[in-house]
Amino acid sequence: MRAVIQRVLEASVTVAGKREAEIGPGLLVLVGVEDADTDEDIAWLTAKIANLRIFGDSNGVMNLSVCDVSGEIIVVSQFTLHASTKKGNRPSYIKAARPEIAIPLYEQFVAELQLACGQTIQTGIFGADMKVALVNDGPVTIVIDTKNKE
């Protein structure tokens, strides 16, 4: 699994002109699932995101997690995170999992992140043409790939 985590002041997801999700301060998490992903990848990534210390403490030092600050979270599926651009100019998405594999893993990821933070996680709509708006705070943007965890 690959995730792009952005600390935001606010974020929203709109599909076909309808606002599907909206948060205040917290995290926007773009997540891509590949064929090789497992339950272990989900567990590791949810723990990493829930405990990632990228929010300021009383001294302004990034020392608190999204759970510590009761921040909100939106998770958006994004298969293009697994784009390969090694050859030519058209990205290849061969490593991105097909929906029949990706959807259950994505839903499990959202459920486990919800348990880890003890709050409802908002989401976009898997496979939809989404308009994602955000105000990046910092900016703070972290990229995590479960295949590079060692």
Q: DSSP label at 106? A: H
* pLDDT at residue 112 in the model: 97
What percentage of residues in the chain have a pLDDT greater than 70? 99
Domain limits for position 90: 2-148
The whole-model pTM stands at 0.94
- pLDDT tens digits, residue range 7-35? 999 999 999 999 999 999 999 999 999 99
DSSP 42-82: HHHHHHHHHH---EE-TTS-EEE-TTTTT-EEEEEE-GGGG
Catalytic residue among 6, 46, 79, 123: 79
- Of 102, 55, 63, 62, the C-alpha closest to 80 is 102
Q: Is 78 a residue of the active site? A: yes
Q: How far is CA 62 from CA 23, 42, 65, in A?
A: 21, 25, 9
Catalytic residue among 6, 46, 55, 78: 78
Q: Is 79 a residue of the active site? A: yes
**pLDDT by residue, tens only, the chain of 150 residues:** 999 999 999 999 999 999 999 999 999 999 999 999 999 999 999 999 999 999 999 999 999 999 999 999 999 999 989 888 888 888 888 889 999 999 999 999 999 999 999 989 999 999 999 999 999 999 999 999 999 877
CATH number at residue 71: 3.50.80.10
